[in-house]
Amino acid sequence: MTGNSQNPALTGAPQQARTRLSALWRPALVQAFVKLDPRQLLRSPVMLVVELTAVVTSLLCLVPAQGVSTGLALQIALWLWFTVLFANFAEALAEGRGKARADSLKAGGEGLRARRRNADGSFADVAASSLRRGDLVRVEAGELIPGDGEIVEGIGAVNEAAITGESAPVIRESGGDRSAVTGNTRLVSDWLLVRISANPGESTLDRMIALVEGARRQKTPNEVALDILLIGLTLIFLLVVATLQPFARFAGGDLPLVYLVALLVTLIPTTIGGLLSAIGIAGMDRLVRLNVIAKSGRAVEAAGDVHVLLLDKTGTITFGNRRCSALFAAPGVSAMALAEGALLASLADDTPEGKSIVDYLRALHPLQEPPRSAVTPVPFSAETRLSGIDWNGRVLRKGAVDSVLDFLGRDRAGLAPELAREIDSIAQSGGTPLLVCADGELLGAVHLKDVVKPGIRQRFAELRTLGIRTVMVTGDNPLTAAAIAAEAGVDDVIAEATPEKKLQRIRQEQAEGKMVAMCGDGANDAPALAQA
């Protein structure tokens, strides 16, 4: 998919891409010489022939030939070796991008620190890579969880988007089926005491890295056809050149072997075989200038043959965080009173959802806000699932439906029918309903939802006219996923998707002979990106 020059997520992408490319040059140069091994060049018959002719020409430089100067033979040999090395360098540079993807995943866990509990109950700062199964670690709000484990104490909201693609933080607590946590996910609120359950090399992130490194990219139909053509032309011209010397001697002449070698390399499609990778890299560089990042030259070519496009929902189809989209006032409550209560109750909520409510209402209603020094903030907590302020004798709260009702000492049966219907409607549409109360009175509900990016439905319609089927993949539950898929206009949806589930779907489509593309922006998408 093409990038938008106004998209802040892509700001600086060309410079970053050039920096990563320059970091690959040195190892690619080393690999250019390593790939001179004929066993590796068997995959490229044209370049193997060029290398063999370069060897022959180099040997001919040591044997004087009548009518051929040593300088000419040496010049031909040098050009042949340069051709092979350049082709190897271009291929190594393209392969280095795939390796860099796995290295970037590994770098995500490097330098991560953890607070490990000692036998005497004290905590020591250690490297996360030194943790072993059974170690106890304490994680504070805002920190990355250092490894896969199980919560033995505490409750908190964990942002698992990097692993599952789930757009909203999930509540994790000790005991029950919600106690498992994954390494390299971020704790949003409160604190947790986690017992590590995986040794180094056995974590979820390590399995993802293995999937990336083990993924195999299928050749496009154009590549297969071109390989067959190049092999056929090489065999034909080998036969042509091999018969020239007998014909020349039959006519009473003689052709120096160096000339025959030079003619062979001139006739066979050396340029196509040697510059195929370079052409792809040149195309990728042009795309970078347009803020479009291509993972390989083959991906640029394969884009024209795509049948199925898988898109990660979070950050690709939607903005990534649930945002406030509407307010519904309770019977007898004015819209302005609800807006004021929701704004004040969200001032102390530093979660993305809380900030979105403040931004939404500031743009909708220019309300007078109290100075921060005059209020007593009540920050959002995963345990209470509430936030709010106490100000001038007023008590304002906003939070999950059950949490607000418990705070007020009520139950759902006591809700006004209109408000109850609106809460159910929000939940059934895949959104998240929140309640707002002030001084013991319910003011109404706030609708949080994954906001689909503007114009995305029209883009999917254009892809459909090109014969490309779109599939949305998300870690959300089926109800939420279906609602967002309908709004975005995709052709199919995969809910509760894990990295393994995405990879399995791509392999299934490829087994049916379809060319599959993948669009995603998170670490959990890396295996699928490598396979597609």
The residues annotated with a catalytic role in the active site are 312
**Residue ranges in 63-125 assigned as alpha helix (H):** 70-109
**Residue ranges in 268-349 assigned as alpha helix (H):** 270-289, 297-302, 335-346
Q: Rounded to an integer, what distance in angstroms lies between the CA atom of residue 348 and that of residue 441?
A: 20
Sign of the dihedral defined by the CA atoms of residues 409, 411, 415, 420, in that order: positive
| C-beta neighbour count of 341 within 10 angstroms | 27
DSSP type of residue 468 = P
Q: Strand 432-438's sheet: what is its strand order?
A: 318-329, 441-452, 432-438, 394-400, 386-391, 376-378
Whose CA is closest to 380, among 388, 390, 372, 371?
A: 388
* Tokens at 172, concatenated: 């994790």
What counts of helices (H) and strands (E) characterise the chain? Answer: 18, 18
Strands (E), 441-482: 441-452, 469-473
Q: Rounded to an integer, what distance in angstroms lies between the CA atom of residue 53 and that of residue 409?
A: 88
**Left (φ > 0), alpha (ψ -120 to 50) or beta: where does 409 sit?**
left
**483: Cα separation from own chain's centroid:** 23
* Tokens at 248, concatenated: 């020349």
Tell me how many degrees the CA angle 193-195-196 measures, rounded to the nearest 5. Answer: 130
Q: Rounded to an integer, what distance in angstroms lies between the CA atom of residue 306 and that of residue 467?
A: 9
Q: Rounded to an integer, what distance in angstroms lies between the CA atom of residue 246 and that of residue 240?
A: 11
Cβ partners under 8 Å of residue 360, min gap 6:
323, 324, 325
Q: Rounded to an integer, what distance in angstroms lies between the CA atom of residue 228 and that of residue 245?
A: 28
Let me know: does 378 contact 350? Beta carbons within 8 Å.
no
